[in-house]
Structure 1
Amino acid sequence: MTTATTVVPGSADGTSRRHVAVIVLSGIVGVTLGVLWIGEGWTKYHAGFGAADIRLVADSAAQNSRVPGFFQEFCTHILGPNAGLFGFAMPALEVALGIGFIAVVASRKFADRLPTTILARMVGGGSVFTLTTYWLSDQLIWEYPIMVLLSTFLLATSSSRPR
């Protein structure tokens, strides 16, 4: 006697449909964030972003009542005096975050689970931290809050990897 079996996506390796959906959604979110971050860095490099832009942000933030005092101090004593370094580092960081998000998505099938989870947490945390500094300096543009939410989602689901 034969019995019919229904194949449930993801059930062969013990994962539920919900788990598979989280994995697929986190992949889409990771690639989206990767593209957004690479776009941010590329735009800055292409526009000639550098020390003058960082000095403008630092001076503006140091004088802006909407910027918290601790961040005004950071802008006055660290960001402004090191504008050349930050002018190069910020676009490079943005491109690196984008590549990192895409690497996390790509590594899910090919890499060991623990390093992928660690990379996902590092990239997600770095993204949230970087976007928070932009927000603190009153340099908010429409996609930053969306990127924070997406990055937070990836942080929350970083351990939802195939076993």
Structure 2
Amino acid sequence: MSEQKKTSDFPSAEFRFFIYDHCNGDFTYYRTPEERDAASDAVIQQYLDDGWDEDVELVVAGEVTAVATKVNVIERPPEDQIDDEGMDEDGRFWGEEHDYCCNYELLPLPAAPGDTAAPEQAEQQSAWVEQIMEQVQVFASAWSLVGGPFDTGDGLKQAKEEKELLRKLLEASR
């Protein structure tokens, strides 16, 4: 049976509580504020030699509430849809190394599965669900326009972009 890891180098719904160690330039992420706080003394003590290094005041702890997340991902079109200058039919440039293009937005980090969230976390979770529901509605509306009398020619493209945004919102909740 494998032992469950205690820390992470990256934030997630499971590992959202952090200590930043200025000396090493490291963020370490923990499951709970108690685990983070238990580790804090070791981080602080490394700043003590013959006296205290003033950089000890740059050690910080906190909770991640949002992370930069890919949105509006557009997959690279087939090669026969890219001209000699690397442009697709929408005028988007595709370098040889580009598999997709996207934007990034700061999106809320949901509560970890099974968390009995504090009231403010419960409010965040509720806002997160509302954001997902709104995007589902936008996605469904975009698809309902494709090929219809109100499609201005970019309906399919818009629907795919809305689908990708919904996918990213859902993936961020893992």
What TM-score range do you get, normalising by the shorter chain?
A: 0.3 to 0.5
Please say which structure displays the higher CA radius of gyration.
2
Please give the TM-score of this superposition, normalised by the length of structure 2. 0.31
Higher percent of residues as strand: 2
Higher percent of residues as helix: 1
Please give the TM-score of this superposition, normalised by the length of structure 1. 0.33
Higher relative contact order (CA 8 A, sep 6+): 1
